[in-house]
Amino acid sequence: MSDTRRAGFKNRTRLQAARERLLDAVDPVERTERVPAATAVGRTLATDVTAVRAVPHYDRAAMDGYAVQAADTFDATARSPAVLRESETVGTGEAAQVHTGSELPEGADAVVMVERTERVGDEIEVGTAVAEGENVAPAGEDVAEGETVLPAGRRIRPSDPGFCKVVGARQIEVVERPTVGVVPTGEELVERDPGPGEVVESNGLTVSQFVERWGGQPTYRNVVTDDRQSLRVAVERDLTKDIVVTTGGTSVGERDLLADVLADLGEVDVHGVAIKPGHPVGFAVVRETPVLMLPGYPVSCLVTAVALLRPAIKRALGTDPEPHPATRATLTEKLPSEVGVRTFARVTLSGDGTSEDRTGTDEPDLPTVTPLRTSGAGVMSSVARADGWVVVPESREGIPAGETVAVEHWEYQP
């Protein structure tokens, strides 16, 4: 039996330290694959994307008007216009009508705006001088052939596939999605309608959905009962994955066997983190594979997945997690917390929101934020009712009413 099982969680690791130790155990995925750019939104580039063709790929008119040879308009004025013959091609003394975006005719090197010209029969009077290249968008003005347009390590945005198509990069090299085995545990868990003493399995499903959103490839396993041999087999089955995640069985009760099983298989690095809810979270390294143990209470499972699993998946992808969107708001009630513990308090917002870059505490249009009065980390409905959470750092013993806080919208950031 582990020391934690015997003594409880007397010594808990600070969240930042636990996260750093977990990330040290995660190896960036080096496997890559070529995929159509059109299907790659959310994927991470393994190599730079370079332009196969220039944009634009031809010299084009930047204005409606007439393509000319600039030398033919030297000294042209409204009172003494240059007179050019209209033609479909442009030689000395000739002009060809063009529209914005039209290919510049061969021989032309400038465009005169239509409002500076006048058609007289089959001749064009040009009432202004233009310089070589004036009102012309040259080939490659936007993107040069061979130019790096998207750097390796970039997470593909919805606007990127269209850009790749324009520059001719229809296939791109991306990092393979990290594989994540998701193993729900607990003899009380069922997939069907529950009877007395039974609980519908939801943690594994929820975690799998977030793994998908964060860029991983989850394998959602069937429930494993609280039995040492069954747990051992389940963990060993998924050691071919980049990360293994279990839910439940992490505390110090008689049926909380995971830490002991993992200690037999490898090394438990962290078990017990100064976080609320979710302090029974921990992780081990088994045959070079990190195994993250998430608590069984639904809210604890969710908080610890966001705090630890999300950055682990991003590390496997070779990136860092982006900050969650946040709204600044005025706290309506005191928000209690324990010194030395990082608290994730579920809250609701009222009033018009403002973005996190607003500053100051006396803005009249700041929304208000109220802590959800819930008891325990098993109240899953509190997550559905929450607009976000306020993170109280370990250094503070609560936050008083009236203070401006940042409400993190953790569910809306990939």
Which amino acid is residue 121, in one-letter code? G
Residue 185, both tokens: 């545990």
User: pLDDT-derived band of residue 77, with 50, 70 and 90 as boundaries?
Assistant: very high
Q: Is 293 in contact with 281 (CB distance < 8 Å)? A: yes
Please tell me the predicted confidence (pLDDT) of residue 5. 55
CA-to-CA distance for 408 and 414, rounded, in angstroms?
Answer: 13
User: pLDDT-derived band of residue 358, with 50, 70 and 90 as boundaries?
Assistant: very low
Please tell me the predicted confidence (pLDDT) of residue 364. 58
Percent share of the chain, pLDDT over 70 = 92
CA-to-CA distance for 257 and 265, rounded, in angstroms?
Answer: 13
CA-to-CA distance for 251 and 294, rounded, in angstroms?
Answer: 10
Please tell me the predicted confidence (pLDDT) of residue 256. 80
User: pLDDT-derived band of residue 6, with 50, 70 and 90 as boundaries?
Assistant: low
Residue 357, both tokens: 């870059």
Beta-carbon neighbour count of residue 136 at 10 Å? 21
The fold adopted by the segment(s) 3-31+176-316 is Molybdenum Cofactor Biosythetic Enzyme; Chain A (3.40.980)
Q: Which CATH class is domain 326-408?
A: mainly beta
Please tell me the predicted confidence (pLDDT) of residue 354. 43
CA-to-CA distance for 146 and 199, rounded, in angstroms?
Answer: 58
CA-to-CA distance for 93 and 350, rounded, in angstroms?
Answer: 71
Q: What is the mean pLDDT of residues 252-268?
A: 90
User: pLDDT-derived band of residue 359, with 50, 70 and 90 as boundaries?
Assistant: very low
Q: Which CATH class is domain 32-55+141-175?
A: alpha beta
Q: Is the dihedral of CA 62, 65, 71, 74 positive or negative?
A: negative
Chain segment 123-163, per-residue pLDDT in tens: 999 999 999 999 999 999 999 999 999 999 999 999 999 99
Phi, psi of 314 (to 5 degrees): -65, -40
Q: What is the mean pLDDT of residues 157-174?
A: 96
Chain segment 274-332, per-residue pLDDT in tens: 999 999 999 999 999 999 999 999 999 999 999 999 999 999 998 888 889 999 999 99
- pTM of this prediction? 0.81
Q: In 3D, which of 376, 370, 402, 361 has the Cα closest to residue 388?
A: 370
Mean pLDDT, all residues of the chain: 91
Please tell me the predicted confidence (pLDDT) of residue 353. 47
User: pLDDT-derived band of residue 190, with 50, 70 and 90 as boundaries?
Assistant: confident
Domain boundaries, the chain: 3-31+176-316, 32-55+141-175, 60-137, 326-408
Name the DSSP letter for residue 273: B
125 exposure class (CB count in 10 Å sphere: 0-12, 13-18, 19+):
middle
One-character DSSP codes across 348-371 = EEES---BTT---S--TT--EEEE
Alpha-helical regions (H) of 294-392: 298-304, 310-316, 381-385
Residue 201, both tokens: 């399995």
Q: Is 281 in contact with 300 (CB distance < 8 Å)? A: yes
One-character DSSP codes across 210-240 = HHHHTT-EEEEPPPB-S-HHHHHHHHHHTTT
Whole-angstrom CA distances from 46 to 30, 35, 117, 176, 180 are 9, 11, 52, 9, 20
Superfamily of domain 60-137: Molybdopterin biosynthesis moea protein, domain 3. (2.170.190.11)
Q: Is 231 in contact with 279 (CB distance < 8 Å)? A: no
Q: In 3D, which of 345, 397, 401 has the Cα closest to residue 368?
A: 401
Please tell me the predicted confidence (pLDDT) of residue 132. 96
CA-to-CA distance for 337 and 341, rounded, in angstroms?
Answer: 8
